[in-house]
Amino acid sequence: MLSLVAVFVAYALVDGAFAIASAVRAARRHERWGLLVLNGIVSIAAGVVALLWPGITVLAFVMLIAASAILSGAFMFVSAFRLNVDHGRVWLVLGGLASLVFGILLVLAPLAGAVVLTWWIGAYALIFGCFLLILAFRLRAKKDESSTQHA
């Protein structure tokens, strides 16, 4: 279980750092950045809590992951409705929904979640990652499309 805690710490810190880096880039471009910073802070805080108390109980760890997933999903959901529909809003909504469902399942069945946590994390990461990859490709295509129109 300590190995899983270490992997979560690494993930949360890297995820938070990337969210904050994205916020800095967005701020430089005078784009919306507030929710990115908040998401980054939440991820880093979750990682630091797990790092400071590595011997926490399995149940507390499951709840920590659930809270992180629910908050990240909520922030993504809110961000999605600020994104233009034709930029791929649906993929950000689905990513946020996957995160919310994952977190809620962990809250509803924490002991079962502890037993099959690695399977749930794997399934969540696969689904969430696919949605965000599709969103990234859609946003890249929109960026390329707009840059060729301005040229």
Contact criterion met (CB below 8 Å) for 69 and 99:
yes
Q: Which domain holds residue 119?
A: 2-150
- pTM, two decimals, is 0.52
The answer for residues whose C-beta is within 8 angstroms of residue 43's C-beta and 6 or more apart is: 12, 13, 15, 16, 19, 68, 72
pLDDT per residue over 123-140, tens digit each?
Answer: 888 888 888 898 888 888
For the chain, how many structural domains are there in total? Answer: 1
Instruction: Please check the confidence at residue 57 and state whether its pLDDT lies above 60.
Output: no
| Terminal alpha carbon distance of the chain | 54
| H or E stretch covering 110 | helix 110-115
Residues in the chain, total: 151
Structure-derived torsion over alpha carbons of residues 18, 19, 22, 26, reported in degrees to the nearest 10: -170
What average pLDDT does range 23-49 have in this prediction?
92
- Confidence bin at 55 (pLDDT 50/70/90): low
Question: Percent of the chain, pLDDT > 90?
Answer: 30
Q: Are 106 and 116 in contact (CB under 8 A)?
A: no
Spatial contact of 61 and 31, defined as CB atoms under 8 Å apart: no
